[in-house]
């Protein structure tokens, strides 16, 4: 009886060890496709509270550099992706692109046809505009939940076998504060200038070049204290085991905001179609609100498409290699934004002067004598300062435009784009 019991214990222990080894060596993207994300077991509460660095990449926690509120040049921070560098087509070849937009019935998406119609007509750009709150729409997700996440995943799932070379995922509005400043915050201009070669080479490209908000560190899933402006921080830790079973919870998740990016066909297909189905299944079934479930993914997309927790490329490289706006050096890139900052300060000074002048004009109009009442307490603007400010603003605006035009011309040289991105270039290479 004792021998039989000992044998049973030995077999049970051996089975446990084998299962442990199996689940330690299988990544979330390699799990059996029939398993839904919500069916996998997650880490214990103790493990969640003591989240370790991402052991899969063996990277220590990042050291945060000094705050950079101006959006100037940076050295770039990114953990190397295990995915291979994409293979480019021969120099001069065209790439097909599809613009994917989630929208509400109330949103105007006519800018796509109006501003990008020539690309659409030529066959270089397709567009898939989903209307999430219209049951009769030709393109709509299975459920209006998770903001843009549901639409992005639905497009990938429905078109997995017939993807364009490049898929561009953006919001429906044309202008937004989180678009690129050198392109006047214009989504249409970003789509037009986007380099399919960089997207193909990198596999994944966040469309926003500026680091703030989002880089070099943003979410800390293992944070002890809840963050008022980052409510998704704790939620990511709670959801991680369901979305990425068997992958350690990174100590930091970071990329430029705000869920607008481009991905190559090959990079999308690095994961099986069922994996995207499983992620969308989690989104449908989670009890998180529409807003919070969408926020969870804003700093997770880079992990899905690069397997890296931190993706903060150099802003100069993003503008130069990604959009063809090359200033020739990091210093000249910085100078453009320094000039723009100076112009903004002068704009504010002019607005202050004009506001003061308006108050005085109103007081004179209301006075019987046509003079400012002596008892009025107000700062009188210095005469003629408005002209000086306008002249300075005009001069700086012209300088900014000249430098931007020069950057566009420099960006037409594939060698300059390579230099801007810090990559090798050989005679005859394209972008």
Residue 94 shares a structural domain with residue 229: yes
Span 36-55, average pLDDT: 29
Picking from 306, 323, 340, the residue at the C-terminal end of a domain is 323
* 77-97 per-residue burial string, b: 16 or more CB within 10 A, e: under 16: bbbebebeebebeeeeeebeb
| 168-173-175 Cα angle (round to 5) | 100
- Contact between 172 and 129 under an 8 Å Cβ cutoff? The reply is yes
Give the pLDDT confidence of 386-414 residue by residue, as tens digits. Answer: 999 999 999 999 999 999 999 999 999 99
The Cα–Cα gap between 358 and 366 comes to 12
pLDDT averaged over the chain?
A: 82
Give whole-number Cα distances, 41 to 178, 244, 247, in Å.
37, 11, 12
- Contact between 347 and 397 under an 8 Å Cβ cutoff? The reply is no
Could you tell me if residue 212 is inside a domain?
Answer: yes
pLDDT at 375: 58
Could you tell me if residue 84 is inside a domain?
Answer: yes
| Four-residue CA torsion sign, 410, 173, 206, 155 | negative
Higher pLDDT, 1 or 205: 205
Give the residue numbers spanning the domain of 252: 77-323
**Looking at the DSSP assignment, which residues form a beta bridge with residue 134?**
none
Residue 275 shares a structural domain with residue 338: no
Give the pLDDT confidence of 68-81 residue by residue, as tens digits. Answer: 333 344 556 656 78
Lowest mean pLDDT among 5-9, 291-295, 319-323, 349-353: 5-9
Picking from 116, 190, 102, 82, the residue whose alpha carbon sits closest to that of residue 148 is 102
Model pTM greater than 0.85? no
**Alpha carbons within 13 A on the beta-carbon side of 117:** 6
pLDDT at 364: 72
The Cα–Cα gap between 82 and 267 comes to 11
Could you tell me if residue 10 is inside a domain?
Answer: no
Residue 278 shares a structural domain with residue 348: no
Residue 345 shares a structural domain with residue 309: no
pLDDT at 290: 86
Q: How many independent structural domains does the chain possess? A: 2
Give the pLDDT confidence of 334-368 residue by residue, as tens digits. Answer: 999 999 999 999 999 999 999 988 887 777 777 76
Residue 238 shares a structural domain with residue 349: no
Burial class (CB in 10 A: 0-12, 13-18, 19+), 123: exposed
Give whole-number Cα distances, 154 to 151, 212, 419, in Å.
5, 29, 37
Q: How does DSSP classify residue 388? A: H
Residue 210 shares a structural domain with residue 166: yes
Three-state DSSP class for 411? coil
Lowest mean pLDDT among 41-45, 234-238, 380-384, 389-393: 41-45
The Cα–Cα gap between 278 and 214 comes to 26
Residue 370 pLDDT level (bands cut at 50, 70, 90) = low
Higher pLDDT, 16 or 330: 330
């Amino acid at each position: 009886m004792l021998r039989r019991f000992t044998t049973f214990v030995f077999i049970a222990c051996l089975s446990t060890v084998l299962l442990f080894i199996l689940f330690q060596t299988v990544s979330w993207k390699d799990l059996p496709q029939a398993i839904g994300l919500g069916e996998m077991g997650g880490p214990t509460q103790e493990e969640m509270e003591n989240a370790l660095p991402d052991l899969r990449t063996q990277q220590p926690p990042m050291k945060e550099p000094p705050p950079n509120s101006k959006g100037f040049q940076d050295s770039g921070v990114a953990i190397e992706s295990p995915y291979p560098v994409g293979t480019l087509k021969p120099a001069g070849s065209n790439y097909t692109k599809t613009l994917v937009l989630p929208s509400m019935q109330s949103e105007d998406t006519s800018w796509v046809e109006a501003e990008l119609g020539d690309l659409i007509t030529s066959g270089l750009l397709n567009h898939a505009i989903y209307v999430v709150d219209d049951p009769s729409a030709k393109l709509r997700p299975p459920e209006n939940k998770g903001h843009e996440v549901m639409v992005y995943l639905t497009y990938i799932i429905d078109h997995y076998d017939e993807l364009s070379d490049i898929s561009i995922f953006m919001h429906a509005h044309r202008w937004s504060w989180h678009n690129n400043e050198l392109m006047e915050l214009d989504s249409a201009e970003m789509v037009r200038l986007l380099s399919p070669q960089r997207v193909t080479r990198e596999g994944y490209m966040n469309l926003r070049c500026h680091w703030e908000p989002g880089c070099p560190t943003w979410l800390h899933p293992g944070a002890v204290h809840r963050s008022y402006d980052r409510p998704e921080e704790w939620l990511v830790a709670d959801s991680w085991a369901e979305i990425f079973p068997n992958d350690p919870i990174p100590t930091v998740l970071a990329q430029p905001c705000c869920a607008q990016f481009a991905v190559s066909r090959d990079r999308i297909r690095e994961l099986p179609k069922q994996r995207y189905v499983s992620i969308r299944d989690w989104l449908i079934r989670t009890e998180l609100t529409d807003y919070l479930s969408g926020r969870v993914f804003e700093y997770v997309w880079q992990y899905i498409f690069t397997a890296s927790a931190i993706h903060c490329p150099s802003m100069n490289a993003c503008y130069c290699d990604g959009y063809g706006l090359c200033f020739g050096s990091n210093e000249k890139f910085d100078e453009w934004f320094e000039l723009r900052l100076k112009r903004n300060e002068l704009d504010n000074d002019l607005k202050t002067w004009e506001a003061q002048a308006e108050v005085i004009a109103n007081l004179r109009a209301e006075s019987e004598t046509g003079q400012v009442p002596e008892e009025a307490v107000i700062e009188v603007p210095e005469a003629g300062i408005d002209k000086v400010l306008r002249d300075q603003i005009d001069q700086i605006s012209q300088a900014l435009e000249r430098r931007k035009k020069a950057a566009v011309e420099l960006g037409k040289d594939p060698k300059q784009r390579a230099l801007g991105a810090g990559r090798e270039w050989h005679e005859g290479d394209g972008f």
